[in-house]
Amino acid sequence: MPDYGVVDREREKQVAADAAAELVRDGMAVGLGSGTTTEDLLPALARRRLSIRCVAAAPHIEREARQLGLIVDPFDSVDHLDIAIDGADQIADDGWLIKGGGAAHTREKIVAAAATEFVIIADSTKSVPALTPPVPVELMRFGLAATMRHLGPVTLRDVPPSPDGGVIADYRGDVGDPAALADRLSALPGLVGHGLFPPEMVTLVLIGRGETVERRNLRPASGQPENRPVLP
């Protein structure tokens, strides 16, 4: 067994992305998340020369995918995706995720929720025993100060607004009970989206470990059996 004492994150991201590209089949509608691991997915997907249509959670992913010859449709005319593939910032042992390091979590969650299968790709540094702060959030500019007061410990991120005009911030309070926190954040007026993704949303996690891929199956695919070509 080779000694992977120093994690080659780039290589691990690539092996996870390659494994995810292999799950895609001809005819599928594919959701693309964002982040560097998703960027590694794009050439692997393009190389397969499949007949697929994609939607993208971020404008730069849409551009990169098109440059590689992938067909990307606007996501206002596609009502269902067969599979969505995306990265993550933290993957806890209980299956909860934190996403939004790249500030695209609101759109990424919409893409994930539209898909029968939601597959996460990551290097091994993203695997954690339990989630830790911060949790990215997207807030409406209207009433921003009042929303932040209700939210609790939060810092504004020095990044441009989301493509939908949202203000990106990081919630820095306790994340010990992700389900309770997700409920509280979801119920807060002025909060457009948060980066907590529940295990029920995720079908499969692919984590690069050295040259191998660790597979964590979470929920069963939500589609009808004939629409479940992805997972064994």
DSSP track, 146-189: HHHHHH-SEEE-SSPPPTTSPEEEEE-S--SSHHHHHHHHHTST
Q: How far is the CB of 103 from ligand 5RP (least distance, A)?
A: 6
Residue 117 annotated among the catalytic residues of the structure: no
- Cβ proximity to ligand 5RP: between 194 and 221 the closer is 194
Q: How far is the CB of 148 from ligand 5RP (least distance, A)?
A: 20
- Cβ proximity to ligand 5RP: between 9 and 219 the closer is 9
Strands (E), the chain: 29-32, 53-56, 81-86, 90-92, 97-98, 115-123, 127-128, 135-139, 154-156, 167-171, 191-194, 196-197, 204-209, 212-217
Catalytic residue of the set 108, 211, 214, 226: 108
Q: How far is the CB of 40 from ligand 5RP (least distance, A)?
A: 8
Interface with ligand 5RP (CB under 6 A): 33-37, 86-89, 99-105, 108
- Cβ proximity to ligand 5RP: between 107 and 229 the closer is 107
Neighbours of 114 (CB within 10 A): 18
Catalytic residues: 108
